[in-house]
Amino acid sequence: REHSIVWKIAQSPLVSKIFCAPGNPGISELAECINITVDQTDQLCEFAVEENIDLTVVGPEAPLVDGIVDIFNEHGLKVFGPDKKAAILEDSKVFSKSLLKKHGIPTADFKCFDDYQQARRYIASKEAPIVVKADGLSKGKGVFVCKTNDEALQAIDSIMKDKVFGEAGDQVVIEECLIGEEISLLAFTDGKNIVAMESSQDHKTVFDGDTGPNTGGMGAYSPVPLMTDELYLQVEKEILVPTVHAMNREERPYKGVIYIGLMITDAGPMVLEYNVRLGDPEAQVILSRMKSDIVQIMLATISEDLDKVDLEWYSQASVCVVMASGGYPGSYDNGKEITGLDSLKNQDGISVFHAGTKSANGKIVTNGGRVLGVVACGEDIEDAQKNVYEAVSKISFDGVHYRRDIASKAITPPTSTI
């Protein structure tokens, strides 16, 4: 995500110099990387003041939840993203589900629990499938879609008893399992105006056929054929606009990118989750299709002038395949040499966005679960899918794992979805 954001910002005629903290080998080709981590808010703020930084863009959710926007604003610095009060929309699923219910925005029926035994008793009273979610931030891995009650009880044990997500699991949301097709819809909002982006679909589970445990995302494509103009208008009217209004009414005005995870059910679109930043890997495919200057849009969002800018798109389709370390989302080894990257440089319509990589002894090696996001554009989804897998085949590292069916459901829609 951060590499794709830097890549898009670098295309703006308004930008002369980019710094990235902490960055990676891919980002270092476009920006000067500085050795400050995302949780070192005071050092980041000091750096921005010293370097007279005109605009700071926050990539991941944790600094937003920790209030980096508030601190930068206190120092008179322009920063893109929601403040701490608004970032609770992702920080707490208990808050976001309660907001949805209070303001009549369509979502799955649910109950929240902070007591382990009560949560277990509630599950025993329900029929599977059932969804169990950790309340707080869990890097995309805190949602368990359970096909049996036993699986749901195991999820409760992991979250509340074993504390696999730490304090993020002090509370849980238990909700009905919605049937349908998932779509990610992202929008820019300045708290008054809303500009929706093109649709995308993430592939969350680690294995082909949407099987295995959830990950931070194994790939994405855009646009989603299911997202018709009619459905866009419905989502805007029933979900997007009411959400921004609801945050205003809760005295938590929202400025930045809002991400809405949707389930398109027979009863209409429903909210699965909110994120308070660009999705990953959705950002990679969306930004590859964005024609407009993203910096102009970000500045208009901050100044609450979003109604004065147009958001234009290329008609091309885009597909992203995440190349992950073997064992991810469980344990995996770092330090595996990555080969083949040079063969894809300057190849038209192909971008390789780095995630978990680092430089070591003049080589680029793996340094995380999700290592690379390979993106290809094409005339349509089928063309983009063919192009991306050709590109992926040229890159290798020991133990590499990636899904081989990213975007297939857009080409040959499934007969039924569970």
Per-residue pLDDT reduced to its tens digit, 147-159: 999 999 999 999 9
Show the tokens assigned to 168: 């993020």
Phi then psi for residue 308, to 5 deg, are -100, 0
Can you give the pLDDT at residue 414?
A: 62
> What is the Cα–Cα distance from 97 to 173, expressed in whole angstroms?
8
In this structure, what are the phi and psi dihedrals at residue 63, rounded to the nearest 5 degrees?
Answer: -65, -35
| The pLDDT of residue 418 | 42
**Dihedral sign for Cα atoms in the order 141, 142, 145, 148:** positive
**Distance set, CA 10 to CA 17, 28, 94, 102, 257 (Å):** 8, 12, 38, 41, 19
Q: What is the DSSP letter of 181?
A: E
For residue 205, the cross-strand partners are 214
Whether the pLDDT of residue 256 is over 60: the answer is yes
| Burial (Cβ within 10 Å: 0-12, 13-18, ≥19) of residue 333 | exposed
User: Do residues 324 and 402 make contact, with C-beta atoms less than 8 angstroms apart?
Assistant: yes
Tell me what the mean pLDDT of segment 332-359 comes to: 96
Structure confidence by residue, pLDDT tens digits, 348-396 = 999 999 999 999 999 999 999 999 999 999 999 999 999 999 999 999 9
pLDDT tens sequence across 56-80: 999 999 999 999 999 999 999 999 9
Q: List phi, psi (to 5°) of 184.
A: -100, 125
Instruction: Report the distance separating Cα 153 and Cα 151, nearest Å.
Output: 5
CA-CA distance, 26 to 370, in Å (whole number)? 14
229: tokens are 């103009």
Is the pLDDT confidence value at 194 over 90? yes
Taking the CB of residue 312, how many other CB atoms lie within 10 A of it?
10
Distance CA 375, CA 341 (A): 13
DSSP character string of 344-388: GTT-TTEEEEESSEEEETTEEEE-SSEEEEEEEEESSHHHHHHHH
